[in-house]
Each structure stands twice: as structure tokens, then as C-alpha cells.
Amino acid sequence: MPKVFYVQPDGSERVVDGAAGDSVMSTAVRNGVRGIVGQCGGSLSCATCHVYLAADDRQYFDGPGEDEDEMLDCTASDREDTSRLSCQLVLREGVDVHVTVPDEQT
């Protein structure tokens, strides 16, 4: 079972068991992880699921698609190299994922 490590801006961490095929966003929302809103349910409509993906974990995912890339320029918290929309980060068996939640989503 893949685990997702969510680090809050204050440094506190929460670990949630995910399921392969689910996204980092839906895993957070269903378990009530603070700071990931995911209002559109993952349809690339809201940009309220922004996270900073740990640099070491970037190897497990393809880079952002065109729409995601453009939306990341307009998120509530500043974009960094590691910025992703977490609804586009799909979990895989045997791969744990570490993300940091930004200050603001809307």
C-alpha cells in the first residue's frame, strides 16, 4: 500500500495510507488532510490542490501536462520548481510520495 507523507507549512507531518490509482489529492481530501481543498474533484478546473512534490519523488511521475503547467503559474501560493497539482499525481504500488502543502489554496 503506497503511503503519502503530507508536510504542513508549520513542519508537522501526516502519513496516510493510499491506494494505487488514487491521486495524492483524493487521498488527502478523503482523509481530511488540511490545506488540500481539491474542489473540482480532480478535473483540472480549480487549482486548489497545489503541492510541492519532494525533489526525490519527481522521478516517479511524468511532468505536468500543458493545462496543469499553465494553471500552476496562477495558484494562490507561489509556484516553485517542484509545484504540482496533486490531483494529477497518481499513486502506484510500492511508491511512497512526500509532498509539502502550501500556505494558501484560494
Q: Which residues bind other proteins (CB under 8 A)?
A: 22, 26, 29-32, 34, 37, 39-41, 43-47, 67, 70-71, 73-76, 106
Burial class of residue 63 (count of CB atoms within 10 Å of its CB; 0-12, 13-18, 19+): exposed
Dihedral through CA 16, CA 46, CA 88, CA 34, nearest 10? -10
Which of 32, 72, 81, 27 has its CA nearest to residue 54?
A: 81
Instruction: Kindly tell me which of 32 and 94 has the beta carbon lying closer to ligand FES.
Output: 32
Minimum distance from residue 78 beta carbon to other proteins (Å): 12
Residues numbered 68 to 87 that lie near ligand FES (CB under 6 A) are 85, 87
Binding residues vs ligand FES (CB under 6 A): 25, 38-40, 42, 44-49, 85, 87
